[in-house]
Amino acid sequence: MSHKSAGTGPQHVAVLVFPFTSHPASILRFVRSISTLAPDMQFTFFNISRSNSSLFLGSCNMGFGNIKPYNVWDGLPDGYTPPSSGNPLLEQIKLFLDNALGSFEKAIKEVEAATGHKFDCLISDAFLWFSGDIAEKMHVSWVTFWISEQRSMLLHIETDLIKEKLQGQEEDKTLGFLPGFSDDFRASDIQKEIALGDAVESPLGKMLYKMGQKLPQATAVVINSFEMMDLKGSEELKKRLKRLVLVGPQHLIRPVQTENDDDEEEEEEAEDGCLQWLDKQKPASVAYISFGTVGALPPMEVGALAEALEEGGFPFIWSFRGNQEHFPQGFIERTNKLSLGKVVPWVKQEKILNHSSVGVNVTHCGWNSILESITGGVPIIGRPCFAEQFLLMRSVEIVWKIGVRIEGGVFSKTGAVKALEQALSLEQGKETRQRIEILKQLAQEAVAPNGRSAEDLKALVDIIKS
């Protein structure tokens, strides 16, 4: 319950961000979709400086209309240098989480003191489970946002049951004992932080476990998905949560344009000519390849996939942020000269996947990539790398039947050629494309003016206002 009476002024909403991988961009897009429906609300976007600078185009004084950034401490000590071994990202996440509760509480008090207004609601990334405790102290509602889909959230809520049933035997057991899951799902599809008892002692494991325990206490849990994408998962979550709100696919919901959007459009136009190059290709003939913002293939797999593309003559666009020395010698120059493909550091993935020349998405199976494949009508070749990507890959194969996992789970030249031939063959991929078209239509219907996701988003605005 808010401490502020209705009608006394604009609502002030605090947004707490998990500042790593694709989380900040996802929650900003979600908040922008709310702000479009509620232009009288004021949102403060609490995030670390380097992430805010990226999202708000380097200016911490600029925002998107009624959304203003505010920097919180990233938890890194003065003079911090990343470790030479291990995983630098995991260490930075640990340092951030160790200090996040105090950092957010301090920042919230600073903004309230500077503005003279108390916050009326708290929105947070679901990873930040302690946001529920902050909201309770503030006597305001807690709305939490999950950037993935229904089934992966269900696993986190049921972690205790999973560990009891699996007892560390994570490879060969099925997940048929879980409501909403069939025997086609295997224990090997889920994260070790869920399946193994001792994994909960890691910083990431602790965060995920506490999140699963805390989510049922939230005023509303928001998911970037739509009900028809997973009816069983939605039904099970509704039994466990106070309020389930499905507002996806978020990338189909267009917020009101601002000056910052104009700058972004200019950046998108300068994408090394990818869209112009695609205009010259045959329909559904091009492989788009990307492994997300942090996903990276091992060097041998980069080489194997590159050899398959070149020797098989498959046109491609590869969004690649790794070490180009992992490509076969001369690969980029040869394929560029022959107009066979383009290796670029970044593209607007949604635009690429909506181009008629793209015939397959070779991906790590992150949730955003899957949603954008569906709304672009593009089949998937999956090579999951970490987190819930293995679970999502299983759903791609057996639930939605809109793609295949790479043979053996890792790229070899022969396996990649086989998968690409199947995906880019219009005859072999006919049924897959038909299923994707059905999901694409359902997604579009969900976000249409009277669709379920659109109605849920309106209801969420009412929850925040109340």
Active site residues: 23, 125
- The residues with which 344 forms a beta bridge, in sequence order, are 319
pTM, whole model, 2 decimals? 0.93
φ and ψ at residue 78, rounded to 5 degrees: -55, 135
Contacts of 97 (CB under 8 A, 6+ apart): 75, 203, 207
Residues 6 or more apart whose Cβ sits within 8 Å of residue 347: 271, 272, 274, 290, 317, 319
For 252-282, b/e burial (b = at least 16 CB within 10 A) is bbebeeeebeeeeeeeeeebeebbebbeebe
Cα radius of gyration (the chain)? 22
Smallest CA-to-CA distance from 45 within 462, 148, 64 is with 64
pLDDT at 19: 98
Sheet of 380-382: strands edge to edge?
341-344, 316-319, 286-290, 358-363, 380-382, 403-405
Give 167's strand partners: none
Distance, CA of 339 to CA of 315 (rounded, Å): 8
Q: List alpha helices for 313-383, DSSP H.
A: 331-337, 349-353, 367-376
12-259+451-465: which CATH topology?
Rossmann fold (3.40.50)
Cα-Cα-Cα-Cα dihedral sign, residues 172, 176, 178, 181: positive
The answer to whether the beta carbons of residues 153 and 127 sit under 8 Å apart is no
pLDDT in tens, the chain (466 residues): 444 444 456 799 999 999 999 999 999 999 999 999 999 999 999 999 999 999 997 544 566 889 999 999 999 999 998 887 778 888 999 999 999 999 999 999 999 999 999 999 999 999 999 999 999 999 999 999 999 999 999 999 999 999 888 876 656 789 999 998 999 999 989 887 787 655 556 788 889 999 999 999 999 999 999 999 999 999 999 999 999 999 999 999 977 665 555 445 444 444 668 999 999 999 999 999 999 766 679 999 999 999 999 999 999 999 998 889 999 999 999 999 999 999 999 899 999 999 999 999 999 999 999 999 999 999 999 999 988 999 999 999 999 999 999 999 999 999 999 999 999 987 777 889 999 999 999 999 999 999 999 999 999 999 999 8
Please, are residues 361 and 436 in contact by the beta-carbon 8 Å criterion? no
Domain 272-444, CATH class in plain words: alpha beta
12-259+451-465 matches 272-444 in fold: yes
| 127 and 26 Cβ atoms separated by less than 8 Å | no
Exposed e or buried b per residue across 338-363, where buried means at least 16 C-beta atoms within 10 angstroms of its C-beta: eeebbbbeebbbbebbebebbbbbbb
Residue 202 CA: distances (Å) to CA of 196, 209, 411: 11, 10, 30
Question: Could you write out the three-class secondary structure of 91-157?
Answer: HHHHHHHHHHHHHHHHHHHHHHHHHCCCCCEEEEECCCCCHHHHHHHHCCEEEEEECCCHHHHHHHH
Beta-bridge partners for 245: 222
| Domain spans in the chain, listed from the N-terminal domain onward | 12-259+451-465, 272-444
Helices vs. strands in the chain: H and E counts, helices first: 19, 13
- 409/298 Cα distance (integer angstroms): 13
Decide if 247 contacts 227 (C-beta within 8 A): no
CA distance 126 to 215: 8
